[in-house]
Amino acid sequence: MTRTLRLRIPELLTEAGLTAWGLHKAAPDSITATMAYRLVREQGRLETFPRKTLEALAVAFQCGPCDLLTFDPPPAMAKTKPKTAARRRP
């Protein structure tokens, strides 16, 4: 199964100039060192994660939850054109 929704951890770490350890230090009460390294290793592609983690990441990166996520469509979906609704004549 292709995961299309992912956390933008690699990009945000680069923008903030942080490492996995730096991410842990930015939110030590919420993001364990193990979780920080897991987020980096998986490049944000996790099946599930607690809401508490999402909130802690938003605080650590000083951004909103929407800024943490990105949508990477699978190749088959990227090639198809979106369907448009048919216009009705009055």
- Strand locations in 3-90 (E): 5-7, 69-71
> According to the CATH classification, is domain 5-68 in 1.10.260?
yes
The CA-atom distances, in angstroms, between 60 and each of 3, 73, 76 are: 24, 27, 35
What is the mean predicted confidence (pLDDT) over 10-18?
91
CA quadruple 21, 34, 3, 74: dihedral sign:
positive
- pTM confidence score: 0.70
The CA-atom distances, in angstroms, between 31 and each of 5, 19, 79 are: 20, 13, 37
pLDDT one-digit tens code per residue, 24-35? 998 888 889 998
pLDDT one-digit tens code per residue, 49-75? 788 888 999 999 999 988 998 887 777
